[in-house]
Amino acid sequence: MRNKLLEINNLKTSFRIGDNYYAAVDDVSLTVNNNEILGIVGESGSGKSALAFSIMGLHTRAKIEGNIFYKGQDIANISPAKLNKLRGDDLAMIFQDPLTALNPLMRIGDQIAETLILHKPEMSQKQRKERVLELIDLVRIPRPEHVYEQFPHELSGGMRQRVVIAIAIANRPDLLIADEPTTALDVTIQAQILDLIRELKNDLDSGVILITHDLGVVAEMADRVAVMYAGQIVEIAEVHTLFENPLHPYTKSLLNSVPTEGQEKLHVIQGVVPSLQKLPRKGCRFAARIPWVDASAHEEYPELHEVEPGHFVRCTCYSHFYFPDESKEAYAHGNS
Ligand SMILES: Nc1ncnc2c1ncn2[C@@H]1O[C@H](COP(=O)(O)OP(=O)(O)OP(=O)(O)O)[C@@H](O)[C@H]1O
């Protein structure tokens, strides 16, 4: 049975730039259940990492508003001591680049043991070593005894990422956040690492937040998907619903950017996510990228609408959206 592990309500994470605070995560609400993978997709700059860091309490200077309930306890603003206890124990994160996540001067075994020393101080040295070897084996690294003594630079990228995963799961976390865990790896290794994350999720009955810009990864891995644009969730749905019936113009354009068999020409929406200072704070944040859609189609304060059970879409523009033919689009851009 799936239970609610994480519930985020109206989260706003703002960074100070000059004299003002600008929200990089703006009014995000979501839930994650145990034994569930929630995929979070969106272009670079859409706020995915800022959201992950907020959950992990890793922002040192950001302003955090709203609630992050973990098993019913609000961790959005708890003391650093309490958060440290949770982090690495109940909550763990797998970062994008294993090289920067690992200490180049420390043996693999010692790096994995470190998190056990911190969170399971009662373990004897012998028990700890046994557990580290078990973890190395669990993430399918061959010859654990040998790898225990090695340094990060002696391992391949894929093996290093397995070490990072071993550290993350050392204390059997209930919630695992994986931020682009396979971006730095080639395709075959990527598939193995994703398989491993899915297996560990099943074994530990954990909830997983999988952040990626790769829709193929989401289709393969996620149970539900949240699509983020400019700090907000613009659509959230079960994975098959999102792929079969995408509604938000941004989701449609993301899906359109993945070529499928038999499709000759794809319409790709131009532009990028605006910087925090330039982000419109009123009206539909995606409006500027679909200038051919009439302004009246957008809401003044776009909200998430539940269009069918569990399927939410932001702003009414989704029901007026269409992909223009190229000539009309050129006209729209030329006149905007
Ligand atoms: N510490 C910070 N101070 C100021 N602005 C920040 C900070 N961290 C992130 N931002 C800004 O917040 C916005 C969201 O960034 P974030 O890294 O969360 O995006 P992302 O979707 O994870 O992108 P990527 O896929 O490139 O990691 C961006 O405009 C970014 O420049």
Average pLDDT per run of 10 along the chain, which is 336 residues long?
89 95 96 96 93 92 95 89 86 86 95 93 95 93 96 93 92 93 84 90 94 92 97 97 96 82 66 88 92 93 95 96 68 42
Ligand 1: does its nearest atom lie under 6 Å from the Cβ of 15?
yes
- Ligand 1 atom with the smallest distance to the CA of 213 is 25
Whether this model's ipTM surpasses 0.85 comes out as: yes
SS3 62: coil
Residue 278 within a domain: yes
pLDDT at 336: 35
The preferred substitution site among 12, 44, 227 for testing ligand 1, maximizing ligand atoms within 8 Å of CB, is 44
d(CA 119, CA 140): 23
Residue 326 within a domain: yes
Residue 188 within a domain: no
> Interhelix angle for 157-169 vs 125-138, to 10°?
130
Identify the residue whose C-alpha is closest to ligand 1 atom 12: 24
Q: Look up tokens 């093996």; give the residue.
A: 159
- Ligand 1 atom with the smallest distance to the CA of 46 is 21
From start to end of 58-144, where are the E strands? 63-70, 73-74, 91-94
Residue 97 within a domain: no
Residue 78 within a domain: no
pLDDT at 332: 44
Residues 6+ apart with CB under 8 A from 87: 56, 57
* Domain limit, last residue, from 170, 197, 218: 170
* Domain limit, last residue, from 133, 155, 170: 170
Q: Look up tokens 């070897």; give the residue.
A: 133
Global confidence as pTM: 0.91
Q: Is 295 exposed, middle or buried (0-12, 13-18, 19+ CB in 10 A)?
A: exposed
From ligand 1's centre to the CA of 46, what distance in Å? Answer: 7
Residue 72 within a domain: no
Residue 201 within a domain: no
CA nearest neighbour of 54 among 32, 21, 33, 28: 28
Ligand 1: does its nearest atom lie under 6 Å from the Cβ of 232?
no
From ligand 1's centre to the CA of 314, what distance in Å? Answer: 21
Total number of domains constituting the chain = 2
From start to end of the chain, where are the E strands? 4-17, 20-33, 36-41, 63-70, 73-74, 91-94, 175-179, 207-212, 224-229, 232-238, 304-308, 311-314
Ligand 1: does its nearest atom lie under 6 Å from the Cβ of 57?
no
Residue 39 within a domain: no
* Domain limit, last residue, from 134, 153, 170: 170
pLDDT at 259: 66
Q: Which domain holds residue 289?
A: 247-334
